[in-house]
Amino acid sequence: MAVRGMRALQQWCKVQTAGYQNVAVRDMSSSWRDGLAFCAIIHKYRPDLIDFDSLSKENVYDNNKLAFDIAESELGIPALLEASDMVALKVPDKLSVMTYVAQYYDYFKGRKPGGGPGIKSPRSTKRQTPPTSPTPQAKKFLLYDEDDNPKKVHVSCYRHVIQHKKYMFLIIAYTSFLVCYIRDSHVMISSMCNRHN
């Protein structure tokens, strides 16, 4: 099965996460916010890495951090998302999530699942922490644009684009604030001048 576009990738994710408690992949943004869908996919193929039954929907930061760290250190999937962003955003960026999840698909396609809902992890008695030894990151990965067209890009380029988007948002927000402040100040000064005349 070749994954083409967002709908196909979303369907693959639904199949992989079916039966996992508190996981319902309805879209490629808010369905991923709590981190459980990422953890479910990893657990489906590698139950030795995550004790899914110990996770809580309320621990958004911890779930995402666990999934991102394990995916990077154990599977070599670059951490393109930040756990803190998943906490801060009520609706995570669809293209960022889709691009990151596509890396899971690329890694797991053709592999047999070793777990599933209710399968206990051999690590369940141990604390879940990814190993500290880094593994080499993939140099390129597929990025899907708004028209579902795949493009190969370098990991560092994508991280730069995400940082740029964050800074541009802050600049736009700050500029909007300044425009409103200046406009309101101008109105206030004009009204004060009109009173004195």
Whole-number pLDDT of residue 42: 96
Q: What's the pLDDT score for residue 167? A: 60
Instruction: Name the H helices within the chain.
Output: 5-17, 36-45, 60-75, 83-88, 94-108, 155-196
Token look-up 């990422």 returns 38
Which position has the token pair 């890495």?
49
**Residue 17: predicted pLDDT:** 95
In degrees and rounded to multiples of 5, residue 111 shows phi and psi of -100, 150
In the predicted model, residues of the chain with pLDDT beneath 50 are: 1-2, 124-127, 129-140
Residue 132 half-sphere exposure toward CB, CA atoms < 13 A = 0
pLDDT at 135: 41
98-148: per-residue pLDDT in tens? 989 999 999 998 888 776 665 665 554 344 544 444 444 444 455 555 555
Global pTM value = 0.63
